């Protein structure tokens, strides 16, 4: 809590801007849970739940899952006890409709201190970063063949540093899907960013300056 207020952090930015990495730092620093709609949806797909089945078709194409499905899962998630003192939202809200829904949730009250942080990154850099990303389907760790190279490699296969599982390229990190995700991002991000700006809670950070610098800037904003 900050001054008895719930700390709500919203991470915005294109896929691959480093939201996940920065999220890890923020949740440690402020002891708030990480609510990543992408992770929740991927979990639902792996478990084969009805939500997962509905979401899968959209996700493999790089399209957004329908707003009502996403808002329902977020509303359920914030009811858990660990969100009492605040939460970090990563990948949600994703468009203006979701942003409106977000501000209307019972969870967001006058007693919430909201900070929206936009980590900005040019498209070419997004494509380079995401196509080099490798994902552990077991422990969900993320590696990158450019700057976070997994230690173990046999032939062309990489293995997870944490649990030893074989790393994969997520379906939504395949080049064609990345291009589609960027198209979707550009068509929805403008109004979303504008929305947070009008609410006077937006901070913009340049994502190309490197992970450490971005972390420092974010901590400066939040403390």
Residue ranges binding ligand AMP (CB under 6 A) = 15, 37-38, 41, 58-59, 62-65, 70, 91-92, 94, 98, 172, 181
Q: Is 42 a catalytic residue?
A: no
Q: Which is nearer to ligand AMP, 23 or 160 (CB)?
A: 23
Burial 132-151, CB ≥16 within 10 A → b, else e: bbbbbeeeebbbbeeeeebe
- Rounded to the nearest whole angstrom, what is the least distance from the CB of residue 220 to ligand AMP in the complex? 25
Q: List the catalytic residue out of 7, 94, 129, 134.
A: 94
Q: How far is Cα 77 from Cα 37, in angstroms, rounded to an integer?
A: 10
Q: Look at the block and give the residue holding tokens 């084969």.
A: 48
Rank residues 24 and 63 by Cβ distance to ligand AMP and give the closer one: 63
Is 170 assigned a catalytic role? yes
Q: Which of 170, 174, 179, 198 is catalytic?
A: 170
Q: Tell me whether residue 41 or residue 214 sits nearer to ligand AMP (CB atom).
A: 41
d(CA 159, CA 150): 7
Q: Give whichever of 155 and 176 is closer to ligand AMP, judged by the CB atom.
A: 176
Is the Cβ of residue 58 or residue 203 nearer to ligand AMP in the bound state?
A: 58
Least Å from the CB of residue 6 to ligand AMP: 20
Residues in the chain: 223
Q: Is 94 a catalytic residue?
A: yes
- Please, what is the minimum distance in Å from the beta carbon of residue 4 to ligand AMP? 29
Cβ 112 to ligand AMP shortest distance, Å: 19
Q: How many CB atoms lie within 10 A of CB 193?
A: 19
Buried b / exposed e over 96-109, threshold 16 CB at 10 Å, is: bbbbebbeeeebee
Instruction: Judge whether 80 counts as a catalytic residue.
Output: no
CA distance 204 to 197: 10
| DSSP line for 185-221 | HHHHHHHHHHHHHHTT-EEEEEGGG-HHHHHHHHHHH
Residue from 7, 42, 77, 133 carrying the catalytic annotation: 133
State the minimum distance, in angstroms, from the CB of residue 36 to ligand AMP. Answer: 6
- Active-site annotation holder among 19, 77, 129, 134: 19
Report which residue's Cβ sits closest to ligand AMP: 38
Burial of 169 (0-12, 13-18, 19+ CB in 10 A): middle
Catalytic residues: 19, 94, 133, 170, 181
């Amino acid at each position: 809590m900050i001054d008895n207020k719930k700390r709500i952090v919203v991470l915005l930015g294109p896929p691959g801007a480093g939201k996940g990495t920065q999220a890890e730092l923020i949740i440690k620093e402020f002891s708030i849970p990480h609510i990543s709609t992408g992770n929740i949806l991927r979990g639902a797909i792996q478990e084969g739940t009805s939500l997962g089945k509905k979401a899968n078709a959209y996700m493999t194409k790089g399209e957004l899952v329908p707003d009502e499905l996403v808002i329902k899962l977020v509303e359920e998630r914030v009811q858990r006890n660990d969100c009492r003192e605040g939460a970090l939202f990563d990948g949600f809200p994703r468009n203006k409709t979701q942003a409106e829904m977000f501000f209307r949730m019972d969870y967001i009250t006058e007693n919430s201190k909201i900070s929206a942080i936009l980590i900005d990154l040019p498209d070419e850099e997004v494509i380079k970063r995401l196509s080099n990303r490798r994902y552990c389907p077991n422990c969900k760790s993320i590696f990158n063949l450019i700057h976070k190279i997994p230690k173990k490699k046999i032939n062309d296969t990489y293995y997870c540093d944490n649990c030893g599982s074989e790393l994969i390229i997520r379906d939504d990190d395949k080049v064609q899907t990345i291009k589609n995700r960027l198209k979707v991002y550009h068509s929805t991000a403008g109004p979303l960013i504008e929305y947070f700006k009008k609410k006077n809670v937006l901070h913009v950070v340049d994502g190309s300056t490197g992970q450490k610098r971005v972390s420092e800037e974010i901590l400066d904003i939040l403390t």
